Amino acid sequence: MQIEKHKVDELNHQLSAKHTRQFEHISTDVENVEEVLKKLGAFNVAIPSWALGTGGTRFGRFSGGGEPRSLEEKIADVGVIHALNKSSNSISLHIPWDIPENAAAMNALAAQHGLHFDAVNSNTFQDQKDQKLSYKFGSLHHTDKAVRKQAIEHNIEVIKYGVQLNSKALSVWLSDGSNFPGQLNFRKAFQNTLESLQEIYEALPDDWKVWVEYKPYEPNFYSTTIGDWGQSYLLASKLGPKASTLVDLGHHLQGTNIEQIVSILLMENKLAGFHFNDSKYGDDDLTVGSINPYQLFLIFNELVEGMDARGMNHATGLGWMIDASHNVKDPVEDLLQSVQAIKIAYAQALIVDKTALTAAQNNNDVVLAQEILQQAYRTDVRPLVAEASLRNGGALDPVNAYRTLSIREHLISERGLKTVATGL
Ligand code: PSV
Ligand code: MN
Ligand code: MN
């Protein structure tokens, strides 16, 4: 399924009078409108191949209709998202959930939709059919060298797939940990993980990176071997310049100051990028911005400040990806909402009066500093996001366009009502 551009244009035309009014209004207040639009227009967030089907919990899964049944159909779904928002030009594969049997064909299909492949993700947190040794007690940290070797080889195989797809990074998340005190020797588990990652690091092509993701708990409930940013940072530092720390927003204990973590990692050139989602209780994988949009804005405020301080390109300097699960929503709608929420937070961060904020900070003017941040946060920047999309040929209102064009109904008639996507 491919969206015809003229249909998006027609919908934009219907909304154009209202949009023009709103855009003109905000343009009078925001000094750097053109710069903001340029940056928003260049900004893209990758879509993970596992987020295109409805997720579920251990209590049940309620599949939606027209879910993608193959990698080809997942690429088509990301194509739909990108055609509407012009900000999701890449797809991130989880292997072996999505194995690109014919990489050349996948590259060509992706290109037809204006897409390319982002980081590849390895998976040593589940046992696969015909797998020799089990990951029940971990993978890269395992007490048995043979299990570690199997997990290392899997990661190297994932890199090989990634090379064929022109990916440039391997993203590693381990569920390795322990469920009960005494089960694990923490020091040995960490050392084993480091040595295993060193072997994987050696297999990275020159222009590749490895991103080390952390998570405090789940599926293990006593300890996780890469449980926080300190452990990930330590590993990344010992590994070398190609390794850095990946921040998944859901992978923090409640109340953690994520924006501060981001700021320090960025300063140390050890921030790989993000898995965006939102949460109320734990790793809930909810729609980005649905629970705590202020936190998202504060993170982007640190990102803009820190990337500018280091002269980094906002669009390409870090890995931007969504990592969410959709239990009750149409996944495509949820992903469109998530990307919009990210662009809103980014636009708000771009309009912060940085000179005034720095002065307020230097004067320890706490009230003024807060006023400056909240002035930006409370500005309705949606007309800026809409204008950036419009200028790139996307929809002014992507969710509305998706619904008005009856995309899900088309997908259901093409693929059937009872389809189940692979992956989580
Ligand atoms: C783990 O919770 C995680 O965030 C990792 O990024 C996985 O690769 C992903 O979820 C998929 O389930
Ligand atoms: Mn993640
Ligand atoms: Mn997660």
Which residue in the block uniquely carries the two structure tokens 């009066």? Answer: 353
* Structural domain contains residue 270: yes
Mutating to test ligand 1, I would choose from 154, 323, 325 the residue with most ligand atoms within 8 A of its C-beta, which is 323
Mutating to test ligand 1, I would choose from 52, 95, 248 the residue with most ligand atoms within 8 A of its C-beta, which is 248
Q: Which residues line ligand 1 (CB under 6 A)?
A: 50, 121, 173, 213, 215, 248, 275, 283, 323, 424
Residue 210 sits in which domain range?
A: 5-415
pLDDT of amino acid 418: 78
* Structural domain contains residue 347: yes
Structural tokens at position 333:
């709608």
Q: Are strands 177-178 and 223-224 parallel, antiparallel or unpaired?
A: antiparallel
* Structural domain contains residue 424: no
Q: Which residue is closest in CA terms to ligand 1's atom 8?
A: 173
CATH number at residue 387: 3.20.20.150
Residue 382 alpha carbon to ligand 3 centre in Å: 28
Ligand closest in space to the Cα of 250: 3
* Structural domain contains residue 422: no
Closest CA to 139 of 196, 201, 181, 199: 196
- Could you tell me which residues come within 8 angstroms of residue 270 by beta carbon, excluding any fewer than 6 positions away? 233, 236, 237, 244, 245
**Which string of DSSP letters, residue by residue, matches 407-422?**
HHHHHHHHH-SS---S
Beta bridge partners of 361: none
pLDDT of amino acid 424: 57
In this predicted complex, what is the ipTM? 0.99
* Structural domain contains residue 421: no
Task: Tally the domains of the chain.
Answer: 1
- Could you tell me which residues come within 8 angstroms of residue 294 by beta carbon, excluding any fewer than 6 positions away? 377
Residue 227 alpha carbon to ligand 1 centre in Å: 13
Q: Which atom of ligand 1 is nearest to the CA of 123?
A: 8
**pLDDT digit string (tens) for the chain, length 424 residues:** 789 999 999 999 999 999 999 999 999 999 999 999 999 999 999 999 999 998 888 888 888 899 999 999 999 999 999 999 999 999 999 999 999 999 999 999 999 999 999 999 999 999 999 999 999 999 999 999 999 999 999 999 999 999 999 999 999 999 999 999 999 999 999 999 999 999 999 999 999 999 999 999 999 999 999 999 999 999 999 999 999 999 999 999 999 999 999 999 999 999 999 999 999 999 999 999 999 999 999 999 999 999 999 999 999 999 999 999 999 999 999 999 999 999 999 999 999 999 999 999 999 999 999 999 999 999 999 999 999 999 999 999 999 999 999 999 999 999 988 777 766 5
pLDDT of amino acid 62: 86
Are 226 and 216 contacting, i.e. CB atoms less than 8 angstroms apart? no
Q: Which residue is closest in CA terms to ligand 1's atom 5?
A: 173
Structural tokens at position 196:
């295993």
Residue 362, classified by CB atoms within 10 Å of its CB into exposed (0-12), middle (13-18) or buried (19+), is: exposed
Q: Which atom of ligand 1 is nearest to the CA of 325?
A: 12
Ligand closest in space to the Cα of 174: 1
**Range list of β-strands (E), 11-159:** 47-48, 90-94, 116-121
Q: Which atom of ligand 1 is nearest to the CA of 424?
A: 12
* Structural domain contains residue 12: yes
pLDDT of amino acid 1: 78
* Structural domain contains residue 282: yes
* Structural domain contains residue 423: no
The span from the CA of 143 to the CA of 281, in Å, is 32
Mutating to test ligand 1, I would choose from 275, 327, 422 the residue with most ligand atoms within 8 A of its C-beta, which is 275
